[in-house]
Structure 1
Amino acid sequence: MNTKILMIASAIFLGGMGISLIFFPQEISTFLNSGDALILQLLGALYFGFAMINWTAKANLIGGIYGRPVSIGNFCHFGIGGLALVKPVLTDLLTEPEWIIIAIVYLFFGIAFGYIFFNHPKLKERNSSVLA
């Protein structure tokens, strides 16, 4: 599996959520009927930091011995987040389309990073003339 596309997609998704929460915490707090914009801003910093990790690791072999921590972190974040979002969406506690889309995206990334975490990465075939 080519992990570069997955890493770029997850970095863009997390970066977009992070930047939104960093720069618009008051507006998002009002939309969510929550009173604490500071917590949302800290959450945005967390998302943005995770996006930067994914962006800088996009060229590495994810799932290998050195890229394994990145795959574990992403699998835990998206797996737990996806499971946490599925229950309220399925029980009609969250009926807004935004939450349904976020739940689907989280489940997709959770399954993809789970696949990477539990399967050994395959190196690209090397050209035999390079080795000679």
Structure 2
Amino acid sequence: MKTKWLLSSSAVMMGLLGLAGTFIPEEISTILGIDPSPITLILLQIIGGLYLGFAMLNWFTRSALIGGIYNKPVVLGNLMHHIIVFFALIRQLADQFHFILLIFTLAYLGFAVWFTLVMRSNPLSNSTKKSD
């Protein structure tokens, strides 16, 4: 299973979210209807930093052998992140529907399923087949 597309697309999505959270927390809090108090702004910036860190991890690991026991911490960290955010978004959608939340929910579901498949795959099965 090719994981370069998975890690690259995950890195781009997380990088964009991280840059937004880091550099425009006031605008994000206004869009979300949250009071832009100092604690809210610093929490958005911290979350943005976390997203940027995950984006860098995924970006620099995208060419490595991933799946099964190879780079398992990277896969498990991503899987846990995507599953937890997916369930949080589902809960929010149940309370109040927004189209952008639906898009993010579907994206996180897709990444959660894809990382699950990578975790259960053997990356050496395709590369070690003997040719006749």
Q: Indicate whether the TM-score tops 0.5.
A: yes
Q: How does 1:91-130 map to 2 (within 5 A)?
A: 91=94, 93-125=95-127
Work out the CA distance in 2 between the residues paired with 1:104 and 1:65: 27
22-31 or 93-102, larger mean C-alpha shift: 93-102
Opposite residue 122 of structure 2, the aligned amino acid is H
* Equivalent residue, structure 1, for 2:13: 13
Over 3 Å counting, the alpha-carbon distance change for 1:125 and 1:62 in structure 2 is closer
Aligned-CA RMSD value: 1.9
Q: Report the Cα offset of residue 99 of structure 1.
A: 0.9
Alpha-carbon distance in structure 2 between the residues aligned to 1:65 and 1:23: 37
Q: Deviations over 1:83-128 (max 9, x none)?
A: 2212332x2x231211111111111101110111123323543698
Aligned length: 127
Runs (5+) with no aligned partner, structure 1: none
- Cα deviations by residue, 1:37-84 (Å, 9 ceiling, x for unpaired): 110011000000000000000000112434111000000000111122
TM-score using structure 1 length = 0.87
**Structure 1 residue corresponding to 2:65, chosen from 51, 58, 61:** 61
After TM superposition, the score normalised by the length of structure 2 is: 0.87
Structure 1: which amino acid aligns with 2:44? L
CA contact (8 A) 1:94 1:100 kept: no
Taking a change above 3 Å as real, the CA distance of residues 127 and 104 of structure 1, as seen in their structure-2 partners, is closer
